[in-house]
Structure 1
Amino acid sequence: MKIALISDIHANREAFSAVLDHAQAQGVSDYALLGDFVGYGGDPAWVVDRVRELVDKGAVAVLGNHDQGAVQGVAPTMNEEARAAVAWTHDQLNDEQLAFLAQLPLSVTQQDRLYVHANAYAPGGWAYIQGRMEAMQSLQATSCRYTFCGHMHEPMLYHLSGTGKAGEFTPAPGTAIPLLPNRQWLVIPGSCGQPRDGNPAACYAIFDSASGELNFQRVPYDFETAAQRILKAGLPERLAHRLSQGQ
């Protein structure tokens, strides 16, 4: 079973569409959507509706902090641009769309896989996994062999051996990585709708649960149209300009 791991879509219709088309071409059968479906981007209603359709067909979806903000109100910890986007997003969503976001769980466990937006040790606190220390804290908080999370907008892979030895590396896209069964793994697929590693191409990953192989992907998309949607919405200009820079 091939599972597409998609996170941080951030209301970017063009990126999400490109990733879904790419995943289908790769033979993906299942989807895990790791939160932050809205915020920053200019097409939140379309993205939420598409996520709902996938969930209705069996996809996993978890709550992100921007999704929570759109429902409950702007968090004081968000920067000014994020606050403006979240407030605008709330007004673009109808009651059904807001209710869908509101009922999303913070995490989902399936067999030996944990899906969560931020981390396993305090999912609702929204702390970032910024390095090995936070990754180990997250891995030690769950008995699952695989943890898949978003929140960080750059792809990364961490592992923890049975003897407590930790490791990390930045993956190369398009290269199959065997996730060895004698380790725990924490996978951050990167951001679909707003990558921040200097590459504007959309990020996602594919996990093959049968073979245990993981493959990070980069998908070019029409970021100019996505940027125009942001500008047309009257959102902060930097949210549009950063798409072409992958920042």
Structure 2
Amino acid sequence: MRLVLLSDIHANVTALQAVLKDIEGIGEFDAYVLLGDFVNYGPRPNEAIEIAKQLPKPVLVNLWGNHEYSIFGGSLDRFSTDRGRAVLKYTNAILTKKSRNYLDTCMNHQGFEEKVIEHNTILFVHGNIDDPYWGKFGIDKMNDERYAKYDYVICGHSHIPHYVEHFFPSENQVYRNKKRTIFINPGSVGQPRNHNPYAQYGILDTETGNYEHRGVWYDVAAEQRLFNDSIDKFYKERLILGV
């Protein structure tokens, strides 16, 4: 199964449209995986959700991130800044009834989902195994033996892409007493933070194991012009550098 991995779109419709245009040129694929945080920070959450409703392939996984969770009553204390709390309140105020219905009925509220695909056991999670919404996932988390049961752990939230093959001890002489788990983060479509302002996503083929990380140019200035004074300028200025 060939999967398109999209995460942390954050209501950046210009970036999302550029990514979807790029996807048209990658050849056949089977499904989308949406890893959370469709909304907030950006100026057009309702438009982003309308695009999600019309994706031309099935959506295999559609997770709440911490921003969807917060829209539906999650504590605002988890936001590290006042500007983060303020922009969430703004997003909450402009979401339409149809958009709320999509977030509530079409997305997985748990922030994680396990699937078996072509003999691969896969954990899809927005954050990490301890905190599916807010948990940061970095190299330091990959030694956790709870991940050893999975062939892939695919996450979002950090806005920083990674691909790491990690080997856990295992009583399996055929594989030289090692068990491989592949950790993937496709980065962020709408708010990248790896010093690369391009809209980023991933393509995983679960049959061959091939993985491709892609960065797509989009008109950052055009997206920035859509921000109004209700959204702190920090969220549009960071788009220039990908920070």
Q: What SS is found at the alignment partner of 2:149?
A: coil
Give the deviation of 1:85 after TM superposition.
1.5
TM-score (normalizing by structure 2): 0.85
For residues 124-143 of structure 1, the aligned pairs below 5 Å read: 124=133, 126-129=134-137, 131-137=138-144, 140-141=146-147, 143=149
For residues 1-247 of structure 1, the aligned pairs below 5 Å read: 1-27=1-27, 28-54=29-55, 57-72=58-73, 75-78=76-79, 79-103=81-105, 104-105=107-108, 106-111=111-116, 112-124=121-133, 126-129=134-137, 131-137=138-144, 140-141=146-147, 143-163=149-169, 183-230=180-227, 232=228, 234-247=230-243
Task: Name which of structure 1's ranges 17-26 and 65-74 shifts more when overlaid on structure 2.
Answer: 65-74
Give the deviation of 1:143 after TM superposition.
2.1
Give the deviation of 1:136 after TM superposition.
2.8
Q: Which amino acid aligns with 1:116?
A: V
Q: 1:161 to 1:32 in 2, by over 3 A?
A: same
Give the deviation of 1:74 after TM superposition.
5.6
Contact (CA 8 Å) 1:9, 1:193: kept in 2 or not? yes
Contact (CA 8 Å) 1:116, 1:149: kept in 2 or not? yes
Flag the structure with larger Rg: 2
Compute the RMSD of aligned alpha carbons: 2.2
Q: Number of paired residues?
A: 227
Give the deviation of 1:56 after TM superposition.
8.4
Q: Which residue of 1 aligns with 2:174?
A: none
Give the deviation of 1:238 after TM superposition.
1.3
Q: What SS is found at the alignment partner of 2:129?
A: coil
Give the deviation of 1:216 after TM superposition.
0.6
Q: Which residue of 2 aligns with 1:178?
A: none
Give the deviation of 1:98 after TM superposition.
1.3
Q: 1:118 to 1:73 in 2, by over 3 A?
A: closer
Contact (CA 8 Å) 2:201, 2:214: kept in 1 or not? yes
- CA distances 1:186-210 after superposition (whole Å, capped 9, x unpaired): 1011111011111110111100122
Q: Which amino acid aligns with 1:150?
A: G
Q: What SS is found at the alignment partner of 1:197?
A: coil
Contact (CA 8 Å) 1:68, 1:101: kept in 2 or not? no
Give the deviation of 1:128 after TM superposition.
0.4
Task: Name which of structure 1's ranges 20-29 and 219-228 shifts more when overlaid on structure 2.
Answer: 20-29
Q: 1:214 to 1:56 in 2, by over 3 A?
A: closer
Give unmatched runs, 5+ long, in structure 2.
171-177
Whole-Å Cα distance in 2 between the matches of residues 58 and 119 of structure 1?
A: 21
Identity of aligned residues (%): 30
Whole-Å Cα distance in 2 between the matches of residues 2 and 227 of structure 1?
A: 33
TM-score (normalizing by structure 1): 0.84
Give unmatched runs, 5+ long, in structure 1.
165-180
Q: 1:136 to 1:52 in 2, by over 3 A?
A: farther
Q: What SS is found at the alignment partner of 1:193?
A: coil
